[in-house]
Amino acid sequence: MMIQPQTASSPGLARRPALARSYRDILAASTERTLRRRHVKSYIMVALTYFAAVVATLPLLLILWHLAKQGASSLNWNFFTRMPAPAGETGGGMANAIVGTGILILIASVLGLPIGIGAGLYLAEQRGTRLANTVRFLSDVLNGLPSIVLGIFAWQMLVRPFGHFSALAGGIALGAMMIPLVTRATEEMIRLVPVSLREAALALGYSKWRTSLSVVLRTALPGIVTGALVAVARVAGETAPLLFTALGNQFWSVNLGQPIAALPMQIYTYGISPYEDQHAQAWAGALVLLGLVLIISVAARFVTRSRFGLGAGD
């Protein structure tokens, strides 16, 4: 193999001039062939990535279509205003679960946003220190923690000692899920703020904390709000941490110390029930939940396009 003449690998150049083709012609021909081959390759790769992009959006489109088909028929004003009907009866709504999900998200945000944003600010401002690296690593681990594990943990810490399930425990479990998401989003956004801006503030006589809050955090705010909304959308649909904490509730309750209904759990309960009507209600509930998440995501995009802020100038 090794002693084969090198020309074997480039047949175009091995030909004799007797074939009446100049070196230039040969080169042109081979260039054209290479070009054609590259074009074909390019088309194939573009087609593949196009296919992958379509497949990536396919699940969402299918889910939307399916939910709309199955759930739209049960979706009416009553669904938002009425309490669940007793098993076997038709009609009724999920008012308690919709309000419950709202309350749980509120508790989770009150806990998760300040801590997450504060931690993110710390990680970005103290980057490189050992504590910051440790916190970042642990935050990533927490982010990857299966939500059911978080649910069991919250049960152990917040339900068992008190002897009953509660909305508060559910909200705290969701908040704990939000913290690492918000932390990393905040850190990434703050890192995008140029050092020169920080220096400009310091040179004006701003103190360190004032620079962090009114210049750095303020500049990164649109991005942080987006990250926070994405985190809210993410936990809004979580079921596992709620199973052991908020438990769910057939009745109207806004008491934080009592079990509370939530859309994902209601969907689960109705979905595995034997009644046709409850199945339809579950579909409608899923549609509402998806709608809620979509609205939050769209809001997130709008916030990013605010007047001032990073990227507004270019």
Partner 1 sequence: MTEQPTQTSAAAVPACIDAESLDAYFGASRVVRDVSFGVRSGEVTSIIGPSGCGKSTLLRCLNRMHETIPGARVEGEVRFEGRDIYAPSVSAIGVRRHIGMVFQRPTPFPTMSIRDNVAAGLKILPRSEQLSRRETDDVVERALRRAALWDEVKDRLHTSAVAISGGQQQRLCIARALATSPTVLLLDEPTASLDPLSTQRVEELVYELRSDVTIIIVTHNMQQAARIADRTAFMLAGELVEYAPTNAMFTAPRDPRTEAYITGRFG
Spatial contact of 94 and 79, defined as CB atoms under 8 Å apart: yes
The least distance separating partner 1 from the CB of residue 215, rounded to whole angstroms, comes to 6
Query: Rule CB under 8 A: is residue 123 a binding residue for partner 1?
Result: no
The least distance separating partner 1 from the CB of residue 125, rounded to whole angstroms, comes to 11
Choices 70-78, 224-232, 266-274, 301-309; region in contact with partner 1 by CB under 8 A: 301-309
The least distance separating partner 1 from the CB of residue 103, rounded to whole angstroms, comes to 33
Query: In a 10 Å sphere around its CB, with 0-12 CB exposed, 13-18 middle and 19+ buried, how is residue 222 labelled?
Result: buried
Q: Give the x/- contact pattern for partner 1 in 186-225, rule: CB under 8 A.
A: --------x-xx-xxxxxxxxx--x----x--xx-x----
3 state DSSP class of 92: strand
Half-sphere CA count of 312, side-chain side, radius 13 A:
15
Compare residues 99 and 201 and give the one whose CB is closer to partner 1: 201
Choices 47-55, 79-87, 99-107, 302-310; region in contact with partner 1 by CB under 8 A: 302-310
Tokens for 149, please give them. Answer: 């594990």
Distance separating alpha carbons of residues 70 and 171, to the nearest angstrom:
30
The least distance separating partner 1 from the CB of residue 190, rounded to whole angstroms, comes to 13
Candidate residues 128, 144, 161, 274; the one interacting with partner 1 per rule CB under 8 A: 128
Query: In a 10 Å sphere around its CB, with 0-12 CB exposed, 13-18 middle and 19+ buried, how is residue 252 labelled?
Result: middle
Compare residues 115 and 202 and give the one whose CB is closer to partner 1: 202
Spatial contact of 245 and 207, defined as CB atoms under 8 Å apart: no
Choices 44-52, 68-76, 99-107, 304-312; region in contact with partner 1 by CB under 8 A: 304-312
Name which of 93, 99, 85, 112 is nearest 256 in CA terms. Answer: 99
Distance separating alpha carbons of residues 117 and 106, to the nearest angstrom:
16
Compare residues 1 and 203 and give the one whose CB is closer to partner 1: 203
Compare residues 22 and 126 and give the one whose CB is closer to partner 1: 126
Helix axes 167-191 and 218-236, enclosed angle (nearest 10): 140
The least distance separating partner 1 from the CB of residue 199, rounded to whole angstroms, comes to 7
Query: Rule CB under 8 A: is residue 300 a binding residue for partner 1?
Result: no
Compare residues 44 and 213 and give the one whose CB is closer to partner 1: 213
**CA angle centred on 232, ends 230 and 237, rounded to 5°:** 105
Spatial contact of 101 and 236, defined as CB atoms under 8 Å apart: yes
Spatial contact of 259 and 237, defined as CB atoms under 8 Å apart: no
Query: Rule CB under 8 A: is residue 86 a binding residue for partner 1?
Result: no
Tokens for 47, please give them. Answer: 């087609």
Query: Rule CB under 8 A: is residue 313 a binding residue for partner 1?
Result: yes
Query: Rule CB under 8 A: is residue 312 a binding residue for partner 1?
Result: yes
Site of interaction with partner 1 (CB under 8 A): 128, 194, 196-197, 199-207, 210, 215, 218-219, 221, 307-310, 312-313
